[in-house]
Chain A
Amino acid sequence: MISAVVISSAALQLSCVAALLVIAVLAIALSRSEHATAIIYGATLAACAVALFGALGFLLGNTANASALTLPIGLPWLGAHFRLDALASFFLVVVDLGGAAASLYGLGYGHHDPAPHRVLPFFPAFLAGMNLVVLADDAFSYLLCWEFMSLASWALVMAHHREPGNAKAGYVYLVMASFGTLALLLAFGLLAGPAGDYGFAAIRAGQHTPYLAALVLVLMLLGAGSKAGLVPLHVWLPLAHPAAPSHVSALMSGVMTKVAIYGFIRVVFDLLGPPAWSASVIVLFLGSITAVMGILYAMMENDLKRLLAYSTIENIGIIFVSLGLALAFQANGLKLAAALAFTAALFHVLNHSLFKSLLFFGAGAVLTSTGERDMDRLGGLIHRLPFTSFAVLVGCVAISALPPFNGFVSEWLMFQAVLQSPDLPQWALKIMVPAVGAMLALAAALAAACFVKAYGVTFLGRPRSVAAETATEVDRYSLVAMFGLAVLCLLAGILPGLVIDALSPIAIEILGGRMPIQANEAWLSIAPIAESRSSYNGLLVMVFITISASLAVFFIHRFASHALRRGPAWGCGFSDSVPAAQYSGESFAQPIRRVFGTLVFHARDHVEMPPPGDIRPARLRIELHDLVWEVMYAPIAGAVGVSSEWLNRLQFLTIRRYLSLVFATLVTLLLVLAIWS
């Protein structure tokens, strides 16, 4: 028993974090050495694996008591509180699983890094920061760790700072991260109240007025939402995530956004007390807009890593929709439905961390073997990278929410939660939820379209460049990391009951309700409410598909002709021998651009036809506008620029003017004071 207590405690998790920090320091010392990559990633892998098993042991052990620890650092009267409860342990599983996979991938991928000394020290530090945010149990440690995590990831974004665009990405990220931390700071300040007790236990015990709760919710949506990538706070994400090395991109997209969601859940579900139903309206609204906008942006994108980053925005939207549903049910005391929506959200958190890491690893593999991220210079990689392309195919099927993989299960649970919502008494929600359900379905269908494009243009067809034509398969570590994640995607898809049961302690802890025990269902199926209402069995679906496909293959190979001839593709009399004449990313997106883009991006296709007699070829130019950037951010940036230029004049005054300025300020302040009192 003692060993079980030791394994599943906050102390173990903190020791792992300490180990990660030591590794980070070690990396600085070692960074110029030849074996640094292997040593650092190996050690990080070990630390993450230990932390992963500790957290998993805590989550599965059904330990009712949280494990807390106070360290005598931080604010002198407060100390640094750390606590491991069911919610924290689940997010630690997500962080450390992603961390372990990324370290394993890094063992191979890191060798191709042109500047390892810019990545190696920050990689373990980034992981340590994410672990600490999840463990923190007081506002001060939370904010400190949050900022540490942000800065470590910023350093990783800037690892290849000489590449064009990366400096801008780092700058925008820094501005948005500071903005997010400011919002969080204000939120925690409001929560702690005038007494200023920053411990989460004290905040949880306190009473919060509805106005204050609403304000905290908005601040959390700004703070956690900007880190997670909620539209319209997402602008930094597609710049920063792709700029980092691919395994770090995987961590940022697959894991760091989840840490932000953890912060949102911790504050809004746990610390704020019983939610108001109106809170769910804003979360549902932002979530559904984010889901559809994110995937439309992704569909328009031709840079593989940026496409994945935009798809992260979509998935964050889906998770927020589910959290919004959970808030709505919880506010109305519908415990079972709330547990269903909440479990669906957590399930999707896990799923997204799995397949998004896998896809970023795949993008990294493409990048190492070809040096290209632009889809329109790739193609035909399925012949050159057979293993990578298979693993990425699994990831694409999973992220497109297709059975029998895991993405489908969490979306299925969300649809079941939507179907529970006619029980909600509020009219606003009654009218809103069907529309939100439609947006979810639209996002899922567009995701499938988007990943047909991503996979089809990158891996299928004929190679569009010499680099793609001569690509070679990547190293074994990378492949093991990708295949491990692919297997997990399949397992979570065919054994969803196990995952749901593992998530139930969190629902009990946060919502006070849970889904029915899935282990009791026959044949490992899942039934969110009751079998007569809905059930799904991923395992049997997979078995049935396998059997039907094998039957078909058997009959065909038994009775049909075996003759097979290779020949040139049928070009309808006009063979386009140039690979550039294939469907490209832009042409594949054209139908969807025409249907949705004219409204969302003000997309226009211009045909530039040379005048008669001119022998230049005609050109098709596509005009796309990022309206969020142009309407929201560009004016703000412009105003900041103008005002700083204006303030700049104050720098070049004579001493007399400075003195008179000081004098005028003093007089004004005294006047204000005099009138005030």
Chain B
Amino acid sequence: MVVISDILVQGAQMLLVLLLAPLLTGFVRKVKARLVRRQGASIFQPYRDLLRLLRKEVVLADNASWLFRVTPYVTFAAIWVAAALVPTFATGLLFNWTADLIAIVALLGSARFFLALAGMDVGTSFGGIGSSREVMIAALAEPAMLLIVFCMALVAGSTQLSTVANFLASSYVGLRVSLGMALVALVMVALAENARIPVDNPATHLELTMVHEAMVLEYSGRHLAMIEFGAFLKLLLYISLIACVFFPWRIAVFGTGPLAYAVGAVAYIVKLAVAGFLLALFETATAKMRVFRVPQFLGAALMLGLLGTLLLFVSRSF
């Protein structure tokens, strides 16, 4: 019985992230549109976009290789597995011991590795410029992310995300300087990793200013659908991560029964909505920075993570 309910919770979570991911992006776009007094597309537009892309034919560049065709699926799978390992509405997922936070970061790294290669595959300048800038951003964002992981792991005494979430939800952790720094750093990294303003602009049509979008410029049809879906999932993953570690209120602790799960699910959706709204607000209020200002932005995240970790090395009570 226990195993069946475990599998149900894990399966429900994997489906939930798939279903909610486009909605979240649609919601962020809608809020952004409303904030600049536009009507904006429906919040269900991303679903329609995905369906439309699936129905379209794929236009493949003449010299695209098998790697180019395989990458959308590999990327999507790596991000989906990573997203399935982040607790959303309940902790203690069945397979949480499969991969800890470091492995989740590395899974996202695998996804980016293949996308960057695909950007180089066709041999156009846009793919190259996107890939080279993407790996530059990643080269700074990944160490920052790992230091944030160190910070959380040292507070909770574990790199297992479920254990971290359980620890932070159940016991009295209090306000900690190190966790505050980690939160700020994590938000900065999340903005960079999801190609949001101020690091990158997901809505632009000027190829020269883009990073992520330039890299996937050659994709079309079902391939593009997988890549877009992957990007939606990644945004959801980062928001879930921030929510379950820093705002674990009402997250259902493992094995507490259906009612707690229902409360957890409602709380999760509320958290997503709040985070989506804040993201849209922030994106509307700031401008995109020049590409070579990004290292300073991410360097600040790196330093915050390092400082947080250092404080915890000095004393566990910071």
A-B contact pairs, 25 of them (CB 8 A): A382-B67, A400-B109, A419-B153, A422-B154, A435-B306, A437-B146, A445-B139, A448-B113, A448-B138, A448-B142, A457-B120, A461-B128, A533-B163, A534-B158, A537-B97, A537-B98, A541-B99, A560-B55, A564-B60, A569-B218, A570-B61, A570-B124, A571-B124, A583-B131, A591-B291
Tell me if A434 and B310 are in contact (CB < 8 A). Answer: yes
Query: Which one of A55-63, A328-336, A542-550, A634-642 is at the interface?
Result: A542-550
Q: How far is the CB of B115 from chain A (nearest CB, A)?
A: 10
CA A572 to CA B143, docked complex, whole Å: 35
Question: Would you call A415 an interface residue if the criterion is a C-beta within 8 Å of the partner chain's C-beta atoms?
Answer: yes
CA A235 to CA B127, docked complex, whole Å: 34
Q: Report which of B103, B117, B136, B309 forms a contact with A437, defined as CB distance below 8 A.
A: B309
CA A319 to CA B138, docked complex, whole Å: 23
What are the 6 tightest A-B residue pairs by CB atom distance, in nearest-first order?
A583-B128, A563-B57, A456-B120, A461-B123, A591-B136, A549-B77
Tell me if B124 and A422 are in contact (CB < 8 A). Answer: no
Tell me if B62 and A445 are in contact (CB < 8 A). Answer: no
Question: Would you call B110 an interface residue if the criterion is a C-beta within 8 Å of the partner chain's C-beta atoms?
Answer: yes
For the complex with contacts A419-B159, A548-B80, A582-B124, 9 further pairs of A-B residues with Cβ separation under 8 Å are A415-B146, A438-B309, A461-B122, A534-B153, A544-B81, A546-B77, A552-B73, A583-B131, A583-B132
Tell me if B124 and A441 are in contact (CB < 8 A). Answer: no
> B157-170 vs A: 1/0 string, CB under 8 Å?
11110010000000
Q: Contacts A438-B147, A569-B124 hold; do A560 and B98 have CB atoms under 8 A apart? A: no
Query: Which one of B37-45, B221-229, B241-249, B254-262 is at the interface?
Result: B221-229
Q: Contacts A535-B160, A569-B61 hold; do A441 and B143 have CB atoms under 8 A apart? A: yes
* CB interface residues, A 201-247, toward B, < 8 Å: none
Q: How far is the CB of B16 from chain A (nearest CB, A)?
A: 15
With a cutoff of 8 Å between Cβ atoms, the chain A residues found around residue B158 in the complex are 532-534
CA A123 to CA B112, docked complex, whole Å: 40
With a cutoff of 8 Å between Cβ atoms, the chain B residues found around residue A456 in the complex are 116-117, 119-121, 128, 131
CA A494 to CA B207, docked complex, whole Å: 40
With a cutoff of 8 Å between Cβ atoms, the chain A residues found around residue B295 in the complex are 595
Query: Which one of A65-73, A401-409, A669-677 is at the interface?
Result: A401-409
Q: How far is the CB of B222 from chain A (nearest CB, A)?
A: 4
With a cutoff of 8 Å between Cβ atoms, the chain B residues found around residue A572 in the complex are 126, 207
Q: Contacts A438-B143, A583-B128, A589-B132 hold; do A462 and B225 have CB atoms under 8 A apart? A: no
CB nearest to B118 among chain A residues: A460
* CB interface residues, A 426-445, toward B, < 8 Å: 430-431, 433-435, 437-438, 441-442, 444-445
Question: Would you call B314 an interface residue if the criterion is a C-beta within 8 Å of the partner chain's C-beta atoms?
Answer: yes
Q: How far is the CB of B315 from chain A (nearest CB, A)?
A: 9
CA A21 to CA B285, docked complex, whole Å: 73
Tell me if B97 and A576 are in contact (CB < 8 A). Answer: no
With a cutoff of 8 Å between Cβ atoms, the chain B residues found around residue A453 in the complex are 132, 135
Tell me if A380 and B123 are in contact (CB < 8 A). Answer: yes
CA A566 to CA B58, docked complex, whole Å: 8
Question: Would you call A266 an interface residue if the criterion is a C-beta within 8 Å of the partner chain's C-beta atoms?
Answer: no
CA A421 to CA B146, docked complex, whole Å: 16
Tell me if A540 and B140 are in contact (CB < 8 A). Answer: no
With a cutoff of 8 Å between Cβ atoms, the chain B residues found around residue A533 in the complex are 157-160, 163
With a cutoff of 8 Å between Cβ atoms, the chain B residues found around residue A412 in the complex are 102-103, 106
CA A536 to CA B85, docked complex, whole Å: 12
Q: How far is the CB of B93 from chain A (nearest CB, A)?
A: 12
Question: Would you call A165 an interface residue if the criterion is a C-beta within 8 Å of the partner chain's C-beta atoms?
Answer: no
Q: Report which of A534, A556, A591 forms a contact with B100, defined as CB distance below 8 A.
A: A534
CA A81 to CA B242, docked complex, whole Å: 60
With a cutoff of 8 Å between Cβ atoms, the chain A residues found around residue B116 in the complex are 452, 456
With a cutoff of 8 Å between Cβ atoms, the chain A residues found around residue B131 in the complex are 452, 456, 583, 588
With a cutoff of 8 Å between Cβ atoms, the chain B residues found around residue A559 in the complex are 54
With a cutoff of 8 Å between Cβ atoms, the chain B residues found around residue A445 in the complex are 109, 138-143
Q: How far is the CB of B233 from chain A (nearest CB, A)?
A: 11
With a cutoff of 8 Å between Cβ atoms, the chain A residues found around residue B282 in the complex are none
Q: How far is the CB of A395 from chain B (nearest CB, A)?
A: 13
Question: Would you call A265 an interface residue if the criterion is a C-beta within 8 Å of the partner chain's C-beta atoms?
Answer: no
Q: How far is the CB of B199 from chain A (nearest CB, A)?
A: 13
Question: Would you call A624 an interface residue if the criterion is a C-beta within 8 Å of the partner chain's C-beta atoms?
Answer: no
Question: Would you call A103 an interface residue if the criterion is a C-beta within 8 Å of the partner chain's C-beta atoms?
Answer: no
Q: Contacts A569-B218, A591-B291 hold; do A431 and B310 have CB atoms under 8 A apart? A: yes
Q: Chain A: interface residue count, which band?
A: 35 or more
Question: Would you call A8 an interface residue if the criterion is a C-beta within 8 Å of the partner chain's C-beta atoms?
Answer: no
CB nearest to B74 among chain A residues: A549
Q: Contacts A434-B309, A434-B313, A561-B221 hold; do A552 and B77 have CB atoms under 8 A apart? A: yes
Tell me if A549 and B132 are in contact (CB < 8 A). Answer: no
Tell me if B310 and A535 are in contact (CB < 8 A). Answer: no
With a cutoff of 8 Å between Cβ atoms, the chain B residues found around residue A649 in the complex are none
Question: Would you call A491 an interface residue if the criterion is a C-beta within 8 Å of the partner chain's C-beta atoms?
Answer: no
CA A444 to CA B144, docked complex, whole Å: 12
Tell me if A531 and B62 are in contact (CB < 8 A). Answer: no
CA A594 to CA B139, docked complex, whole Å: 13
Q: Contacts A438-B147, A441-B142, A590-B132 hold; do A565 and B100 have CB atoms under 8 A apart? A: no
Tell me if A556 and B226 are in contact (CB < 8 A). Answer: yes
Tell me if B98 and A544 are in contact (CB < 8 A). Answer: yes
Q: How far is the CB of B162 from chain A (nearest CB, A)?
A: 10
Tell me if B160 and A564 are in contact (CB < 8 A). Answer: no
Q: Report which of A397, A433, A548 forms a contact with B77, defined as CB distance below 8 A.
A: A548
With a cutoff of 8 Å between Cβ atoms, the chain B residues found around residue A609 in the complex are none
Q: Contacts A460-B120, A561-B221 hold; do A536 and B139 have CB atoms under 8 A apart? A: no
CA A40 to CA B112, docked complex, whole Å: 44
Question: Would you call A393 an interface residue if the criterion is a C-beta within 8 Å of the partner chain's C-beta atoms?
Answer: yes
* CB interface residues, A 617-663, toward B, < 8 Å: none
CA A652 to CA B154, docked complex, whole Å: 71
CB nearest to A549 among chain B residues: B77
Question: Would you call A353 an interface residue if the criterion is a C-beta within 8 Å of the partner chain's C-beta atoms?
Answer: no
With a cutoff of 8 Å between Cβ atoms, the chain B residues found around residue A540 in the complex are 95, 98-99
Q: Report which of A462, A541, A569, A570 forms a contact with B107, defined as CB distance below 8 A.
A: A541
With a cutoff of 8 Å between Cβ atoms, the chain A residues found around residue B163 in the complex are 532-533
Q: How far is the CB of B157 from chain A (nearest CB, A)?
A: 6
Question: Would you call B232 an interface residue if the criterion is a C-beta within 8 Å of the partner chain's C-beta atoms?
Answer: no
Interface centre among A445, A461, A571 (most CB of B within 10 A): A445
CA A637 to CA B126, docked complex, whole Å: 45
With a cutoff of 8 Å between Cβ atoms, the chain B residues found around residue A400 in the complex are 109, 113
CA A379 to CA B120, docked complex, whole Å: 10
CA A528 to CA B161, docked complex, whole Å: 16
With a cutoff of 8 Å between Cβ atoms, the chain B residues found around residue A592 in the complex are 132, 135-136, 139
Tell me if B136 and A595 are in contact (CB < 8 A). Answer: yes
Tell me if A393 and B125 are in contact (CB < 8 A). Answer: no
Question: Would you call A568 an interface residue if the criterion is a C-beta within 8 Å of the partner chain's C-beta atoms?
Answer: yes
CA A634 to CA B153, docked complex, whole Å: 46
Tell me if B58 and A564 are in contact (CB < 8 A). Answer: yes
CA A582 to CA B131, docked complex, whole Å: 12
CA A461 to CA B150, docked complex, whole Å: 38
Question: Would you call A114 an interface residue if the criterion is a C-beta within 8 Å of the partner chain's C-beta atoms?
Answer: no
Q: Report which of B56, B61, B312 forms a contact with A568, defined as CB distance below 8 A.
A: B61
CA A571 to CA B126, docked complex, whole Å: 8
Question: Would you call B204 an interface residue if the criterion is a C-beta within 8 Å of the partner chain's C-beta atoms?
Answer: no
CB nearest to A434 among chain B residues: B309
CA A435 to CA B308, docked complex, whole Å: 11
Question: Would you call A579 an interface residue if the criterion is a C-beta within 8 Å of the partner chain's C-beta atoms?
Answer: yes
CA A449 to CA B131, docked complex, whole Å: 9
Question: Would you call A603 an interface residue if the criterion is a C-beta within 8 Å of the partner chain's C-beta atoms?
Answer: no
Question: Would you call A126 an interface residue if the criterion is a C-beta within 8 Å of the partner chain's C-beta atoms?
Answer: no
With a cutoff of 8 Å between Cβ atoms, the chain B residues found around residue A433 in the complex are 313
